[in-house]
Amino acid sequence: MTKRGSLRPTLFMTVVAHILLIVLALAVGLGLSEAVVAQQTPQPARQRLAQDNWLTRILQPSAQPSAQAQTQAQPQAQGGAAREWSGQSGGSRHPLMTADAIRAAAVDFGNCLAGIAPLAERRGVSREAFEQLTAGLTPDLSIMDLLDAQPEFNKSPWDYLDILVSDERIARGRELLAQDGAVFAAVERAYGVDRHILAAIWGVESNYGTKGGDRSVLRSTATLACVGRRDFFREEFLAALEIAARGDVKADRLIGSWAGAFGPTQFMPSTFKRFAVDFDHDGRRDVVDSVADVMASTANNLKTDGWVPGESWGYEVVLPAGFDYLLADRSKQMTVGQWQALGIKRIGDKPFPRASEKAFLLLPAGARGPAFLMLQNFRVIMKYNPAEAYALAIGHLADRLRGGGPFAQVWPREERALSMSERFEMQQLLAQRGYDIGEPDGLLGPRTRIAIRNFQAATGQIPDGFASMLVLDRLRQP
C-alpha cells in the first residue's frame, strides 16, 4: 500500500500519517477491533502496518523514519448507512482534521474532484470515463474518524498470532493450496516465491479474501484525496481511476478497506500500478477475482522487493545463558555463523542450512518470549506489511501451511500490551529519570526503547528493551 495524506510541514509527519493509514486498512480488513497501526511509505512497495505496544520495533523498517501513528480499526459497518462521521475533530489536531475543516472540505468535494479531472486525463482516463466513474460520488466522512483515531488499547504479539495463525486459517490455506495447486506451481516457477508465503499473505491480509473491506475504493480514495490530511491520497485516487477506466478491475469490484486497499492480498491502487500482472492472459490484471493474477502480482511484488528463492524467512532460536540482549536489535545484523559462534542454536538443535546468511535477532516479547533469527526474506515480508506482528504471522502461517508445528517457546501470556496512557506514563517517568525519549507521544519508538534498555541495565534487569508492566512498575518506584 502506498498512501500519503499529510501535512505539508515535514516529511516525518507525512510518514506518520501514512503509517496510520496503512495499518488501519489492514486492521479493518482483518476485522480486528482493537488498535492497529498502519504505516505506509509513499513510493516503494506497499507497506502496511499493524501494531501494538512495541510499536517501536514494529515500525521501524530500516531506512524509514520511525514515524508511527495509531488508529483504531472499527468493526466493519454493514452497509454505508451505518457509517456516520462522529462530527468530531481528529485526535491528530492537524489543521485539516478539525471538524470545521472537514465540513468545509466536504462542501467543496465537487470542486476538488473537478480539479483532479485534468490530472486523470493526463493519465489516460478520458473526461467521459471520469464523469462516469465519479457520477454521484459523495465523500465518506466516516473515514475521518478512522483516519485520526487514537486507540487506547493494543494487542500483544501473541494476540495477533492467535488470530492470524489459527487452526481455521491453517486448514483453509491448505485447502486452497491443494485446490489451486497448478496456479501456485506456475507462479512459483515464474517468480521464485514460495507458494506457502503467497498463501499466507492471502490468509493474513484478508482471511483468504473474506475480509478485505466493503467500501468503494474510488469513494474512499476520493474522500481521502479531498478531505482531511490528503496529499498522499490523490495518487491513490488517480491510480484507482486508471484501474477502473482500463477495466482491469471494474469499479463495482474495486471494493476494499477505508484506506483503499483491495483484493485478497490488499493491494493499494498505486501498488497495483507497480506490480499487477495478467498471469492468466485474459487481458485484465484482475487482482480481485483471478487467483492467478492475485498470486502472480503478489509474487511479483515480493520478487521486486528482493525475495531470495529457496530461503526461509527466519528460524526460531534458543539463546544461551548470559546472552547479551543488546544484540537483539534490527540494526545488529550478522551472519548465521557469527550468531552460532555466540551460542545461538536452532530449536531442536537442527542445523542452519547456510551459515553465510545475514540475520538479525528479533525478540517480539522481550527476553521472556520466543527468539528468532530473521533473514532477508523477513525484511521483504516487512516491506509488504511493515507491522512486525503481521510479518511474523505471515512467515509462521507459511510454515504451518507447509506442515510445520507451532513455535516451541512460549509467549509470556501473563503480560499484556501497555495502554496508550501507560505508554505515556512510561515515557514521562523515563524522562524524569533523565533518559532521552524525545517528546512523549505514547508511541514507543527507537529512542524510548534505548531508554528502556538503559534503565533496565541500570536497575539490574535484562536489557531487552521490552516495554512490559514490570518495567513500568519498576519506574513507578522511587
Q: Least distance in Å: CB of 92 to Ca ion? A: 40
Phi, psi values for residue 410, rounded to 5°: -95, 150
What is the C-alpha to C-alpha distance for residues 318 and 434, in angstroms, rounded to an integer? 34
Question: How does DSSP assign 44-73, residue by residue?
Answer: SS-------TTHHHHT--TTS------EEP
The smaller minimum CB distance to Ca ion, of residues 290 and 385, is found at: 290
Q: Which stretch binds Ca ion (CB under 5 A): 35-43, 112-120, 286-294, 350-358?
A: 286-294
Q: Least distance in Å: CB of 204 to Ca ion? A: 24
The smaller minimum CB distance to Ca ion, of residues 4 and 284, is found at: 284
Q: Least distance in Å: CB of 10 to Ca ion? A: 41
Contacts to Ca ion from residues 364-383, by CB under 5 A: none
Chosen residue from 278, 311, 425, 441 binding Ca ion by CB under 5 A = 278
The smaller minimum CB distance to Ca ion, of residues 237 and 279, is found at: 279
The smaller minimum CB distance to Ca ion, of residues 162 and 278, is found at: 278
Q: Which amino acid is at 239?
A: A
Cell triple for 341: 559462534
The smaller minimum CB distance to Ca ion, of residues 84 and 282, is found at: 282
Residue 121 within binding range of Ca ion, rule CB under 5 A: no
Contact present, 276 and 285 (Cβ < 8 Å): yes
Q: Least distance in Å: CB of 212 to Ca ion? A: 18
Cell triple for 169: 486459517
The smaller minimum CB distance to Ca ion, of residues 290 and 461, is found at: 290
Residue with cell 509462521: 396
Cell triple for 195: 507458494
Distance, C-alpha 470 to centroid of its chain: 28
Contact present, 205 and 288 (Cβ < 8 Å): no
Q: Is 195 helix (H, G, I), strand (E, B) or coil?
A: helix
Q: Which stretch binds Ca ion (CB under 5 A): 177-185, 239-247, 290-298, 446-454?
A: 290-298
Q: Which stretch binds Ca ion (CB under 5 A): 6-14, 182-190, 244-252, 284-292?
A: 284-292
Residue 162 within binding range of Ca ion, rule CB under 5 A: no
Q: Least distance in Å: CB of 292 to Ca ion? A: 7
The smaller minimum CB distance to Ca ion, of residues 128 and 252, is found at: 252
Chosen residue from 280, 289, 311, 441 binding Ca ion by CB under 5 A = 280
What is the C-alpha to C-alpha distance for residues 337 and 4, in angstroms, rounded to an integer? 41
Q: Which stretch binds Ca ion (CB under 5 A): 139-147, 271-279, 303-311, 424-432?
A: 271-279
Element containing residue 462 per DSSP (H, E): none
Q: Least distance in Å: CB of 263 to Ca ion? A: 13
What is the C-alpha to C-alpha distance for residues 266 and 430, in angstroms, rounded to an integer? 39
The smaller minimum CB distance to Ca ion, of residues 198 and 418, is found at: 198
The smaller minimum CB distance to Ca ion, of residues 242 and 293, is found at: 293
Which residue is closest to Ca ion by CB? 278
Pick the closest to residue 13 from 229, 268, 291, 330 (CA basis): 229
Contact present, 376 and 345 (Cβ < 8 Å): no
What x/- string results for residues 216 through 255 when contact with Ca ion is judged by CB under 5 A?
Answer: ----------------------------------------
What is the C-alpha to C-alpha distance for residues 223 and 63, in angstroms, rounded to an integer? 30
Residue 284 within binding range of Ca ion, rule CB under 5 A: yes
Q: Least distance in Å: CB of 173 to Ca ion? A: 23
Chosen residue from 84, 131, 168, 282 binding Ca ion by CB under 5 A = 282
| Strand arrangement of the beta sheet that strand 334-335 belongs to | 334-335, 358-362, 371-374, 314-318, 345-346
Residue 293 within binding range of Ca ion, rule CB under 5 A: yes
Distances (CA, A) of 10 to 5, 59, 200: 12, 18, 36
What is the C-alpha to C-alpha distance for residues 18 and 107, in angstroms, rounded to an integer? 25
The smaller minimum CB distance to Ca ion, of residues 299 and 398, is found at: 299
Which residues contribute to the site for Ca ion (CB under 5 A)?
278, 280, 282, 284, 286, 290, 293
